[in-house]
Amino acid sequence: MASTASSSAPVIEKGAVHGVAPLRSGRGTSFVLRRLHSLSGIVPVGAFLFEHILISNSTAISGPDAYARQVSFLANLPLVFFLELFGIWLPIAFHALYGFYIWYRGEGNTIEYPWTGNWMYTAQRWTGGIAFVYIVWHTWTMRFAGVDLHAYPNASFGKVQEEVFHAPFFLFYVVGLIAASWHFAYGIWLFSAKWGIVSGEKARQRFLAICLGLFFVLTVAGLASLTAFRSHPPQIAEPGTTAMQSIPATRSHHKPTDGKPVE
């Protein structure tokens, strides 16, 4: 029985590095690229996600006017195109594409070694892929397709509503939000472990609880914003409209004056 048990157990070479795969860094160029990949997930990509969910999108809870003001503020930042290019689009492209490369080169072992860390790392890979698809689609529809929200921020609330009012798109938003929130929150833990910011098993466990708490906060805040878009009366997503001009109001905008209807 002893020989049978030992033959089925995984062979561990002396001096081998154990643990969850993302905590092991490569060498040479691979080491630098992995470090840049890890860093870009926190700054600027993670910082953008944090601001987008907890600050900008949360203004939708206060209504269309508050959301339009936030969109206008962001649209009028100095050199906004270059801020988007070098602070959002290129970092996201690098982080995502190199992440897919790491995923392609890696090997999942959740069946052979069903440790919690392995399952969480597998979730990190899949949520990264889902989040990338969601971000690309969301960026295209909100930033480049249809009404230019930088030129007409008052149409922003209605433009988002046009998507979330449809159940399939709303569910896609929910899945994308959860995936992006998990990927960022657990990515902070991986970053801290990889860079030696948090060392020791107990310290890592405590910090993991904090990161999971951040995931919960991001998800709840994002769901609250999506609910706000769906709960407000439909707004007009057209250039030149005011933020509070709803569709029902425009259909009955002729009001009586001095007891007589306006012709």
* pLDDT tens-digit series, residues 25-57: 456 678 888 888 889 889 898 898 999 999 999
Which tokens in the block code for residue 3? 């020989």
Domains detected in the chain: 84-107+120-247 (1.20.1300)
* pLDDT tens-digit series, residues 214-257: 999 999 999 999 999 998 888 877 775 554 455 544 443 334 44
Alpha-carbon Rg of the chain, whole angstroms?
24
* pLDDT tens-digit series, residues 195-211: 889 888 899 889 999 99
Q: How confident is the model at residue 153 (pLDDT cuts 50, 70, 90)?
A: confident
Q: What is the pLDDT of residue 28?
A: 65
Q: What is the pLDDT of residue 236?
A: 75
Residue 257 φ then ψ, to 5°: -125, 125
**Average pLDDT estimate for 138-144:** 88
Check: CB of residue 236 under 8 Å from CB of residue 247.
yes
pTM of the model: 0.75
**Number of other residues whose CB lies within 10 A of the CB of residue 106:** 13
Check: CB of residue 92 under 8 Å from CB of residue 135.
yes
Cα distances from 141 to residues 44, 68, 153, 155, 256, in angstroms, run 22, 17, 15, 13, 40
Sign of CA dihedral 192, 193, 194, 195: positive
